[in-house]
Structure 1
Amino acid sequence: MHDVVLRARRKAGRLLREWIPQNLHYRPVGVHPSSRELAARPGGGVAYFGVVPAYTSQLHVPDDFYDKASVYEGLHDKPHRQEKVPAAFVVELIDGRVYADNFNSVAVIAADNRLVGDVSFQYDGARWDLTPPESNNIFRQRYFVAPRELPGTVCNLLSGGGAASGNYYHWLIDSLPRLHLVREAGLLDAVDYFLVYDKSKRFVQGTMAALGIGPERLVDVTENPHVRARCLLATPGVRGNLTHTPVWACDFLRSILLPPPAVNRTFSPYIYISRRDAPGRHILNEDALEAMLREYGFETHTLTPYSQDEKTALFAQAKVIVSSVGAGLANIVVSPRGAQLIELFPSSFVVADYLEFTSRLGMDHQYLVCETPNPSQTRTGAQRDHLIVDLEALRPLVETALQRQPEPASV
């Protein structure tokens, strides 16, 4: 019910901000394209802290996977085998503002009322792609609420897109690792508040608690869409402008989540992750699949009722993981080096997120593209398509995975 109310509120907000004028003086008057150049201006109240230099990222994508990867109406690229990753940094803005009243944009605004382009975010849902800072929808906005004034130092963890909609994968990959940049810049201990999308989410509270950050220090953007901080810390996107997950982000997540916490249960090292509680990508012959996997010692787990500690403990000891593609697989970030992932895809939704992720984690990745009744032609529809697993095609993948032994889990 909470998510339904939130979506209704945001839909009403879209109508307000584009049609009804209020507080137009809060609308930015231009763009600072570079935080580094902005900080170099004397007397601007801006400081720049470089953390990770720019580099070129490589990813091995097997030809067979590349050929099967989904493309929707020409809008979704094939997996990127190479990406230019911009520098990662922290920018400190005295009297900086954040405006984020929708899923698809985050506006970070300097004290001179200009958008800071390389730490802001704008997503074009129609093209499934990022857009230039000057296209940020805040420049079309007419309705503005007055900012909540926050004393002290505020760290912005807003990432837009999937992170804004409450997706666990995007929180882990696109939001939480920003704290690594802040910590490496020597600024984490100075932070008084952290700006997040929904502090009521158990995974938000659980992962922040791993850093000793309690819920009283989380400021919820759903209740505070416009914030002005005496000192605002902001970073660029964790994955730059594209898709490759940096190794430093994986290392940071492992450093805060491992060693696994003690929980009052034990798990098989062979796990099947069911999506029966999710809105899409159900396995229609799941009973038969589970029966086959039990022959090899697999346990079935549905992750929704699990605490963060239980999810971490489950995946930290896993040697072989079988699942249809989904956000819960982000938990492989704590799995042992050399663990095996077998990923099951609807024929309409073959994406490289976890092929890419496993390569950064030192895990093996196998996959099976499955029969999909009435496959969708759009990405939005394909995300909900169900699948039927060919058990005889899956069996040799499972047997291959069981023959390989991962190294013990380590930080």
Structure 2
Amino acid sequence: MHNKARLKSWVRAYLQTLRNFARSLKSYWVQPFRMLPFSSEIIGPPKGFYLSTRDWITKTKTSPEKFSENYQEIYPKSWVYRAAPKTMDDTIHWKFPQQYQREAPDAFLALINEGRVWSGGGTVITPDDRVLADISKEIGRSMENHSIFSQWKLPSVEKIEGTVAVLSAPLGQVYFHWMLNVLPRIDLLRKGAVSFDKIDKFLVNEILHPFQRETLNKLGIPDSKIIESHRGTHLKAKTLLVPSIPGKPGNVIPLWTCEFLRNEFLDGTPLQKSACPERIYISRSKATHRRVINETEIVSYLEQYGFQSVQLESIPLSDQILLFSSAKVIVAPHGGGLTNIVFCNPGTKILELFSPNYVNGCFWTISNHLDLDYYYAIGKGKTPPINFDPHKVEENIEIEISAFKNLIKWLGVG
């Protein structure tokens, strides 16, 4: 079993190396097209990029009045402070102390006349043929290596005579990113100078799951106004409204995103909490990766103390919200399902399980915002050196059962 897993991991790493090499060659071959006196609407990639939307407006607008027409700050930048997580390990994993204090950038709304958008992640291109780096990120890549700069010709542009709001974000079709990177941008649109009702179309990530359409409809976006972004997307709008992507890498999830989700989705939750279990284990048995290898053993032990195992894939979103808002103790391997802790009540105990090769503090961040009682445990395996992140996102988790039993008793629920 372990040899097969190592082989699969090696094959994935080898194929990724080949893909990166191919991209480098393609990018090098495409560079001369950037020197041509034509816009990327016609041929070649954009001419370059601005590090921030503010930079673009500052360099192209002639007066403060023009600046304010194109850039509206909704939430000012702020500092995020976090309490240490709780663990039975001798030391706290090095990733957490690095994030005890982080700066959250300002959240803004940009208006771009004759702006363009490319591909599924919502890459924004200015009228002077530059990419806006802060609202056009690709996960795991620097702006210099953004995939748009390896395109010798973008798809034919679709022109829209109206106002288009950009909600598409990197990995936006994934539940965590949809809830925390896509939907909160609607809050910025609502607080902007342009009336929400006057927006003609909303560009969102490709809709692959029921929760996407369900949440958009609830937030006032009908199907008739939805445009899905994908690999072949290249549109140009008379007016492009682009809310900033909340937070930034390093688990900087702003408080306002959590408050927005709670205000929008908790208020309509039916009062059926008496029917929900107070102690739940979130199973990833249906997932293709990051499963708990000895989950049967873990669940069997937890059931003795009133825990109920749930598979969120088979539960409607409204019921998931009810489930998490009713729970008092939640145990789960790291995964998108834990996004729903945003709907938990203060004091709820959260125990998150990690592989030693992939520790991610995003749910610890949410727990701090909402005064949840956060714990974590790291499964079996060789511990990587401090400050080295193997980032094996797909690695399965194996929990030492005797240590787990001690942990549950330490939590005061066993």
Shorter-chain TM-score tier: 0.7 to 0.9
Q: 1:285 to 1:321 in 2, by over 3 A?
A: same
Task: Answer whether contact 1:366 1:397 (CA < 8 A) is retained.
Answer: no
Q: 1:330 to 1:153 in 2, by over 3 A?
A: same
Q: 1:145 to 1:70 in 2, by over 3 A?
A: farther
Matched, 1:82 2:101: yes
TM-score (norm 2): 0.79
Aligned residue identity for 2:305: Y
Quote the residue 2:123 is aligned against. 107
Task: Answer whether contact 1:203 1:308 (CA < 8 A) is retained.
Answer: yes
Task: Answer whether contact 2:356 2:383 (CA < 8 A) is retained.
Answer: no
Matched, 1:388 2:359: no
Q: 1:329 to 1:190 in 2, by over 3 A?
A: same
Aligned residue identity for 1:386: N
Matched, 1:175 2:182: yes
Task: Answer whether contact 2:282 2:312 (CA < 8 A) is retained.
Answer: yes
Matched, 1:47 2:70: yes
Quote the residue 2:204 is aligned against. 196
Task: Answer whether contact 1:29 1:113 (CA < 8 A) is retained.
Answer: yes
Aligned residue identity for 2:396: H
Task: Answer whether contact 1:194 1:219 (CA < 8 A) is retained.
Answer: yes
Deviation at residue 293 of structure 1 after TM alignment: 1.2
Deviation at residue 214 of structure 1 after TM alignment: 2.4
Quote the residue 2:290 is aligned against. 281
Matched, 1:156 2:177: no
Aligned residue identity for 2:125: I
Q: 1:194 to 1:399 in 2, by over 3 A?
A: farther
Deviation at residue 108 of structure 1 after TM alignment: 0.9
Aligned residue identity for 1:387: I
CA distance in 1, matches of 2:293, 2:360: 20
Aligned residue identity for 2:227: V
Task: Answer whether contact 1:66 1:79 (CA < 8 A) is retained.
Answer: no
CA distance in 1, matches of 2:252, 2:104: 8
CA distance in 2, matches of 1:234, 1:316: 32
User: SS in structure 2 opposite 1:304?
Assistant: helix
Task: Answer whether contact 1:346 1:371 (CA < 8 A) is retained.
Answer: yes
Deviation at residue 16 of structure 1 after TM alignment: 12
CA distance in 2, matches of 1:93, 1:135: 24
Deviations along 1:97-142, whole A, 9 cap, x unmatched?
11125x6xx42112232323332224435xxxxx24x553323321
Q: 1:299 to 1:248 in 2, by over 3 A?
A: same
Q: 1:255 to 1:386 in 2, by over 3 A?
A: same
Aligned residue identity for 1:35: T
Task: Answer whether contact 1:85 1:241 (CA < 8 A) is retained.
Answer: no
Q: 1:17 to 1:331 in 2, by over 3 A?
A: farther
Aligned residue identity for 1:390: E
Deviation at residue 353 of structure 1 after TM alignment: 1.8
CA distance in 1, matches of 2:114, 2:104: 29
Q: Give % identity.
A: 26
Equivalent residue in structure 2 for 1:92, among 111, 135, 151: 111
CA distance in 2, matches of 1:66, 1:143: 55
Q: 1:150 to 1:242 in 2, by over 3 A?
A: farther
Equivalent residue in structure 1 for 2:226, among 218, 232, 242: 218
Q: 1:63 to 1:387 in 2, by over 3 A?
A: closer
Aligned residue identity for 2:124: V
Quote the residue 1:59 is aligned against. 82
CA distance in 2, matches of 1:398, 1:292: 10
Question: Which residues of structure 2 form unaligned runs of 5+?
Answer: 1-18, 34-39
User: SS in structure 2 opposite 1:124?
Assistant: coil
Matched, 1:336 2:354: no
Deviation at residue 15 of structure 1 after TM alignment: 11
Deviation at residue 364 of structure 1 after TM alignment: 0.6
Aligned residue identity for 1:55: S
Aligned residue identity for 1:203: F
CA distance in 1, matches of 2:324, 2:301: 21
User: SS in structure 2 opposite 1:27?
Assistant: coil
User: SS in structure 2 opposite 1:121?
Assistant: coil
Task: Answer whether contact 1:341 1:364 (CA < 8 A) is retained.
Answer: yes
Deviation at residue 387 of structure 1 after TM alignment: 2.5
Root-mean-square deviation (CA, aligned residues, Å) is: 3.5
